[in-house]
Amino acid sequence: MGGVLKASSPNSFVVDENSVVKFEPEGSGKTGGMRIVSEMCVESYEKVERANPSRADLEAMAGEYTSDEAEVTLKVAVEQNGLVIHQRPDRTIPLTPTYRDGFSCSLGSVRFIRDSGGRVTELSIGESRMWDLRLPRVQPANR
């Protein structure tokens, strides 16, 4: 989908004859967001606050994550007040915060998943051909 947005109401915009973008206001228990409605599907996006994780937040995510399915082990570390992924043999991938526990990088989107106690237990990677590849945390970072 692409094109120019043409207002059709205060919160709706027509992109082309088959697609409409609707912005949903905050309030009444809603966080606000956006929906893209086309003849093929409806995509919903929730509004989130921009992330500004502290060093302690980042350190809670550091550690080793592995997937037997993908045959990969990733080491997440805090370097120069940011998170990076170290991938064998010598690739370093910087992570850019996007929302709480969410980051973007050259791999796609990275999300750290917490258990009911708030501890980081998994890393999830998603991109156009792969959604939600889960890598369980096998080892926290050495302190």
Model pLDDT, residue 63:
95
Burial class (CB in 10 A: 0-12, 13-18, 19+), 82: middle
CB 45 within 8 A of CB 123: no
Mean pLDDT for the stretch of residues 26-55:
79
79, β-bridge pairs = 82
In this structure, the strands spanning 19-24 and 108-114 are unpaired
The distance of Cα 52 from the centroid of its chain, to the nearest Å, equals 14
Mean pLDDT for the stretch of residues 87-97:
92
φ, ψ of residue 17 in degrees (nearest 5): -65, -15
Model pLDDT, residue 131:
81
- Return mean pLDDT, the chain: 87
Mean pLDDT for the stretch of residues 82-107:
93
Model pLDDT, residue 125:
93
Residue 141 has pLDDT above 80, yes or no: no
Contacts 24+ apart (CB under 8 A), 62-65: 62/140, 62/141, 63/120, 63/137, 63/138, 63/139, 63/140, 63/141, 64/137, 64/138, 64/139, 65/122, 65/123, 65/135, 65/136, 65/137, 65/138
- pLDDT tens digit sequence for 15-29: 887 888 888 877 656
Q: Which of 24-33, 59-68, 105-114, 123-132 has the lowest mean pLDDT?
A: 24-33
- pLDDT tens digit sequence for 45-86: 877 788 899 999 999 999 999 998 888 899 999 999 899 999
Q: Using the structure block, give the residue that is written with the tokens 């059709």.
A: 8
Model pLDDT, residue 35:
83
Residue 43 has pLDDT above 90, yes or no: no
